[in-house]
Structure 1
Amino acid sequence: MVFMKAALYLIPGKLGESSELESVIPANNLEIVKNIRHFIVESRKCAVRFLIEIDRDFPVDQCTFTELSEHTDEKADLKGILSWLEKGEPMGVLSDAGCPAVGDPGSRAVELAHKKNLEVIPLTGPNSMIMAVMASGFNGQNFAFNGYLPVKNGEREAKIRQLETRMYRENQTQLFIETPYRNEKMFETLLKTCRLETKLCIAAGITTESQFIKTKTVAKWKESPKPQIGKIPAIFLIYK
């Protein structure tokens, strides 16, 4: 029996459908999740799928799910979102993939928990950003995650040049992500915009059957076949 505190548990999920649950998430964490009935989730559908994968008999009908996503109004009143925790019941935060509250709206719930002096417990699990840094060969002591870059032409190129300049000046690895269907456009823009000597790592489908992780200079990428990353979640990293 796992001892449960009245705390906000931050529960990492899988990074892709083909990941084996037991291979990426510790068994003890799965036991903790089995004892939680109140969840703050990015989407209810993904959360239920994850819980059923943990235990096909998970009592979903006995659970509460409060959605907190990118579509949640920034001015929305979240005062009651931790009501179960304030009553002494453990609560969990679930992202659609990977670690909640990292590049994820769940951070708003965590911020509120600290304001209310409620305990927060992060659980171990896959994090695509950290794993990408690990596998890139780039500076792992000084790096920055920049989220999504601008979509508009011109603005995107300007942001890439800004990050590249910062990377050379501060010896800082720069990470960013893109919506999977725009990955190939991002790749083409990077080759067009970055210096030939700049190193580019593409880390896609981490922990899944379609995992692809390669680091090359921009010059070498231009000579190589285009990576097949059109529909796969990917992290892009640049370094000198």
Structure 2
Amino acid sequence: MPGTIYLLPNLVSDGKVADALPAGTLDAMRRIDRFLVEAAKTARAAIKAMGHPKPVSELVIEEIGHDPDPGKIDGWLAPVLAGEDAAILSESGCPGVADPGAQIVARAHALGIRVRPLVGPSSILLALMASGLDGQRFRFLGYLPIAEDERRAAIVNLERQSRASETQLFIETPYRNTHMLASLVKTLAPETRVTVATDIMGAGESIRTLHVREWKELDQAARTLPKLPTVFAVLAEAGRGSAPRYAPEHAKHKGEKTEKAEKFVSSRPNGTKPHRGSSNRPKGAKRPDRRKGEH
């Protein structure tokens, strides 16, 4: 019987393992002796920090790199097919989400190998949670183009997509963070909201959402970002008929309906609601005969 492929999240910043990974994830990791990792050196340090009971030298650690070689995947999965469990561990966050692992998981499914994702941090979801933007519909775009004209076109396009109330999230190489924010402020509409989430779960964590016009009002020092991992999110004003369900105009209408319903219920004896087809006719009164024109 084949073993199981576990998807083992890693910390997204320097910090305590216990603050980022739950006990169940750590318990599962400590039962595994075979790891498929993005980079062997940093993976050894991470596995040790997670408290694996065996010396790291006794574990099997296969380096898959940032772009795994398709020709090697069957070889990596052969021990799992033979009954041994293995875990995929990326450099940061969750395997297969803006990190390598999806190709191996796809092949595991094709071979009938069970795949189990383990709970852990994802900077993308953490940024979305803290952004205040639309979490009902969102899209992750990875990295935007580097060339200035291509980047501007990509920013214009993602803003257009976001007008359907779809939050657009993307990441950038840390040393280009400040340049990315400058490009956003220069290109986007004044009322579009931009979230900058830097060093999530780290000592330098900063998560801030402002309208573009508000970002523009800040001095250059305030718009200079540290060279730390950062997630950006963009949400333009919703197009007509595309406002999110929690938008103020929807909440107002919903509140009015709720208030009217509460007043109606409170006006009835004991606050009871009428059954379908019932009316407020006095007890014993006859139902009007609408065929005779009674109202």
Give the TM-score of the pair, scaled to structure 2: 0.76
Are 2:231 and 1:235 aligned? yes
1:122 and 2:122 aligned: no
Identity, in percent, stands at: 36
After alignment, is 90-99 or 217-226 more displaced?
217-226
CA contact (8 A) 1:69 1:106 kept: no
Correspondence 1:26 to 2:22: yes
- The letter of the residue matching 1:181 is Y
Structure 2 residue identity aligned to 1:230: P
3-state SS of 1:79 partner = helix
Q: For structure 1, list consecutive stretches of 5 or more residues without a partner in the other structure.
A: none
Aligned to 2:50: 54
- Structure 1 moving runs of 4+ over 3 Å: none
Residue 49 of structure 1 aligns to which amino acid in structure 2? Answer: A
SS at the partner of 2:32?
A: coil
Task: Identify which range, 27-36 or 6-15, moves more after superposition.
Answer: 27-36
Query: Residue 195 of structure 1 aligns with which residue?
Result: 189
Whether the aligned pair in 2 keeps the contact of 1:9 and 1:93 (CA below 8 Å) is yes
CA contact (8 A) 2:11 2:92 kept: yes
Deviations 1:83-132 (A, max 9, x none): 12111111000010111110112111111111111000000011111111
State the 1:68 CA deviation: 2.0
User: In 1, are the aligned partners of 2:30 and 2:52 still within 8 Å (CA)?
Assistant: no
1:167 and 2:149 equivalent? Answer: no
Partner in structure 2 of residue 106 of structure 1 = 101
Q: Is this contact kept in 2: 1:51–1:58, CA < 8 A?
A: no
2:84 maps to 89
Contact 2:30 2:53 in 1 (8 A): no
Q: Specify the alignment match of 1:15 in structure 2.
A: 12
Larger Cα-atom Rg: 2
1:45 to 41, 56, 68: 41
Within the candidate set 136, 145, 152, 1:141 is matched to: 136
Query: What's the offset of the Cα at 1:6?
Result: 2.3
* 2:178 maps to 1:178: no
**Unpaired segments of 5 or more residues in structure 2?**
237-295
CA distance in 1, matches of 2:102, 2:29: 19
**Which of 71, 74, 87 is matched with 1:79 structurally?**
74
AA aligned to 1:16 is S
Q: Give, in angstroms, the shift of residue 58 of structure 1.
A: 3.6
Deviation at 1:70? 2.6
The structure showing larger relative contact order (alpha-carbon pairs under 8 Å, at least 6 residues apart) is 1
Shift of 1:230: 2.8
Residue correspondence of structure 1 range 194-233 to structure 2 within 5 A: 194-225=188-219, 226-233=222-229
- When normalised by structure 1's length, the TM-score is 0.92
Task: Please report how far the alpha carbon of residue 33 of structure 1 lies from its aligned counterpart in structure 2 after TM superposition.
Answer: 0.8
**Residues 134 and 140 of structure 1 are in contact (CA less than 8 Å); yes or no, is this contact kept in structure 2?**
yes
- 1:211 is aligned with what amino acid? E
Aligned to 1:158: 153
User: Structure 1 residues 208 and 151, CA, compared in 2 at 3 Å: closer, same or farther?
Assistant: same
**Letter paired with 1:7:** T
What is the distance in 2 between the residues matched to 1:150 and 1:95?
24
- For the residue of structure 1 that corresponds to 2:168, the secondary structure is strand
Code of the aligned partner of 2:184: L
Q: CA distance change for structure 1 residues 228 and 90 in 2, over 3 Å: closer, same or farther? A: farther
Q: CA RMSD in A?
A: 1.6
Structure 2 counterpart SS, 1:189: helix
Q: Is the 8 A contact 2:35 2:62 kept in 1?
A: yes
Instruction: State the distance in 1 between where 2:178 and 2:233 align.
Output: 15
CA separation in 1, counterparts of 2:159 and 2:141?
Answer: 12
